[in-house]
Structures are given as structure tokens and as C-alpha cells.
Structure 1
């Protein structure tokens, strides 16, 4: 077979493949249109399912989860609904990721007492009365 004839066969094959691909795409499009007839469009509804919630393994997963959960901050979904369940699951995986990647160490006991005294506007005399001894409050 000559080179031009082989090239012609390749071109015919490519055209045939492209036509078949277009036909398949047209069938998929037609099927999608039939779905909308069976289930009319409602606000917030779509034909494509939402992404499955998975454990967050990277910073980009974390950022995506934050973007998604922010949409619920304006109006929190009702508990027990599919949207409410999704909100709860997103909150859990975000909390888990944050706890693993940015742990918060518990405060020193003395620093915690001092902080509580400052925020509650308590004095060392108040602490001494609570402990039963003013000397204990100063040490």
C-alpha cells in the first residue's frame, strides 16, 4: 500500500472515530436532557452529585473543605437533612485536620489561673479567700 493510501485510510479512520464520538456525546446530552424532564430544576438542585466527603490529607483538601463549609455559614442547614448531615461531616473532618496539624497545648496551670483572675477582675485576696489562705495565693 502506498504512503498516500495509508494516510487516506488513517484520515478516514480518524473521521469515523470523531463521528462516533460525536454520536456518543449527542446520546449523553439527550439522556441528560431527559433527566431534567423527569426531575424539574429546583434552586440549589443539580444533576451531578456532590463530591463525597473524604478525610483531608493535604492543605488543598483543607482549603476546599473550608470553602464548601463557608457556604453554610449564612444559613446553617437544619439537622437531620442531607445538607445538615453534610455540614456536620465537613465540620468533623475539618476539626480532625486542624487538631492533627495545629495542636493546641494545654496552658500552664499558674498561667491559666492568672488569666482567669485578670479576665474576671479578681484579686489575689479573692484567690486567697477561695484557697483558704492568703499565703497560698501568693506562692
Structure 2
């Protein structure tokens, strides 16, 4: 099988090319197993070489509000009142633990994003 960890960009691009060639391999074949292993190795390399930082919690909330068609008033049940929502969204107040729990339970916002340090 001769598969190894990726150590540089050249090996990375070669692995991506091989993944493209194996993409339609029938399940249960040696080719599909090779595809799966290569995919894991590429993912490891990408996570180390190109890490993705957690988004800013307030920016995340704004993006999700837009995606869900929500306005600030829709956040009142999760943040307590209009004043709290306004202060949080304008970065004059941080999210409280209760707000984080409510946003997670009610809107399924990821905890790891909500507890992250704001970037601004």
C-alpha cells in the first residue's frame, strides 16, 4: 500500500491528486480503503498546516441570525430582554453563562463558539 504521512506541500498535492483519482472507488475495495486512509492523512496535514480558528461568538450569532431570518427581538427569550440583546450585539456586554446555555439549547448554537473569546 505504501502510504505515509505528509511532510510538505508537494506530498500534499500528490495525495490530493490521488484522492481525486480514487474518489469513485467502489466501497469495500482496496482502492476505497486507500481513499479513506489518504483522506485521513490529508485531513491531519490540513489541520496542522492550515488550522481554522473558532469564529468570534458575536459574529457567529449575527451570521446565524441572518441565515435563520432572525432579528434582535427574536433573541430576547435567550438573552433576557431587549437591552441585554442590544448590549451583547454591540459588544458592550459579554454573553452570560445563562445566555450561552439558552442559545445552545434553544437555537443549537455550538457551545465551543459561544464560549470563545470575542476577537474585538
TM-score above 0.5: yes
Q: Is the 8 A contact 1:117 1:123 kept in 2?
A: yes
CA RMSD of aligned residues (A): 1.4
CA distance in 2: counterparts of 1:131 and 1:137, whole angstroms:
6
Which residue in 1 is equivalent to 2:13?
Answer: 63
For structure 2, the residue ranges without an aligned partner over 5 or more in a row are 88-120
Provide TM-score, normalisation by structure 2. 0.66
Residue-pair matches, total = 87
CA distance in 2: counterparts of 1:129 and 1:89, whole angstroms:
46
Instruction: Check if 1:77 corresponds to 2:26.
Output: yes
Between the two structures, name the one with larger relative contact order (CA 8 Å, sep ≥ 6).
Answer: 2
**After the TM superposition, which segments of 4 or more aligned residues of structure 1 sit over 3 Å from their partners?**
none
Structure 1 residue 72, shift from structure 2 partner? 2.7
Which residue in 1 is equivalent to 2:93?
Answer: none
Look at both structures and tell me which one has the larger radius of gyration over its CA atoms. Answer: 1
Provide TM-score, normalisation by structure 1. 0.58
Q: Is the 8 A contact 1:77 1:87 kept in 2?
A: no
Which residue in 2 is equivalent to 1:134?
Answer: 82
Structure 1 residue 83, shift from structure 2 partner? 1.5
CA distance in 2: counterparts of 1:90 and 1:63, whole angstroms:
12
